[in-house]
Amino acid sequence: MNKKIKWGIIGLGKIAQKFVNDLLLLETSELEAVASRDLEKAKTFAENYHSKKFYGSYEALLLDKSIDIVYIATPHNSHEKLSILALKHDKAVLCEKPFAMNKQQVFNMVEASKKHNMFLMEALWTRFLPAIKKIKNIIETGEIGEIKYINADFSFKANPSIQRIYDKELGGGSILDIGIYPIFLAYLILGIPDKIIAKAHFFESGADSQVSIIFDYKNAQAVLFSSFNSNSKRIAKISGTLGEIMIDSPWNEASSFSLFKDNQEEKFSVPKIGKGYAHQIIECNSCLQKNLTESPLWSHQNSLELITLLDAVRKEIGLVYAEDL
């Protein structure tokens, strides 16, 4: 495939609007079509973002043969169903995080990707940011020694009008929505922990409002936190035997960080394109050009391991969704 990659977007909510702004910055892709459950909403979105076509149902977009890849931007509980449906329609898929509600669902999605031989990737956009890639490289060179401690959080005072956050049916709660980021960082740097300790507070709906987590490794610990109850500056620290990296706020959108070593601070500026979503789009475009069915940077196995960690934290705090039963 040596052409512009044609994108379709399903579910035209808040993240779809941010994503499309970055998509339009790239010359390797174009916006072919958008779909909403509401035709008027799809029409307005298409006009605002210069989409060639618009549809009033997700299924109608999936029948459009000109689309190469679909970006799924709907609530968590619909990710598995829509991803598998798209793969069945021979569409490559970039699906929002969390990839699905639990490990079984992610497994089903991966199986569908294999069965239909179609590309599938979780929209874990932080993984593709140039700053995060650079930090991973620095750590792998051993420059800050052996990593002993990570501290990362994602916390903000949520707007009560955003119903998705509280609604357990839609996968509401901090852990799947934003706790996934600090968990991702610990997993990216330290891998799978030997033990997980976690304690949560809950909304009346039963969705978690805040969670404190310790990932315990043989030679390291990660202290992680997510919450919809209070604002936090979102600075992440990665501490090694020879030095420390501090990722500037908000760390999961990073374009700069500091390396502290030998009583000196070295500042790194690693610019990103747009808001940063562009880099996962570039990764998808590149994988499709190479006829890959998964990204080497964020593989199916990575997504399976990340959701396994989310499942384990939920087990610790006793958070069960209907999809688990």
Query: Which position's Cβ is nearest ligand NAP?
Result: 13
Q: Give the residue with the Cβ less far from ligand NAP, 122 or 294.
A: 122
97 vs 244 by CB, closer to ligand NAP: 97
**Cβ closest to ligand NAP, residue 244 vs residue 253:** 253
CB 224 within 8 A of CB 183: yes
Instruction: Tell me how far, at minimum, the Cβ of 186 lies from ligand NAP, in Å.
Output: 18
Which residues, other chains included, contact 40 with Cβ-Cβ below 8 Å and sequence gap of 6+? none
215 with 222: CB under 8 angstroms?
A: yes
User: Which residues here bind ligand NAP, judged by CB under 6 A?
Assistant: 11-15, 36-38, 41, 73-76, 78, 96-97, 123, 125, 164, 170, 177
> Measured from the CB of residue 12, what is the shortest distance to ligand NAP in angstroms?
4
Q: Which of 175, 176, 186 is nearest to 223 (CA)?
A: 186
Q: How far is the CB of 277 from ligand NAP (least distance, A)?
A: 7
**Would you say the C-alpha torsion 93, 96, 99, 102 has a positive or negative sign?**
negative
Q: Least Å distance between CB 281 and ligand NAP?
A: 12
Q: Which is nearer to ligand NAP, 38 or 47 (CB)?
A: 38
In terms of Cβ atoms closer than 10 Å to its own Cβ (0-12, 13-18, 19+), residue 27 is exposed
Give the nearest distance from C-beta 153 to ligand NAP in angstroms.
16
The nearer residue to ligand NAP, 144 or 281, going by C-beta atoms, is 281
Query: Measured from the CB atom, is 39 or 214 closer to ligand NAP?
Result: 39
Residue 110 one-letter amino acid: V
Return d(Cα 166, Cα 305) in angstroms, integer: 25
Residue 3 CB, nearest approach to ligand NAP (Å):
27
Cβ atoms 90, 69 nearer than 8 A: no
Q: What DSSP letter does each residue of 288-325 carry, written as one string?
A: HHTT-SS-SSS-HHHHHHHHHHHHHHHHHHT---GGG-
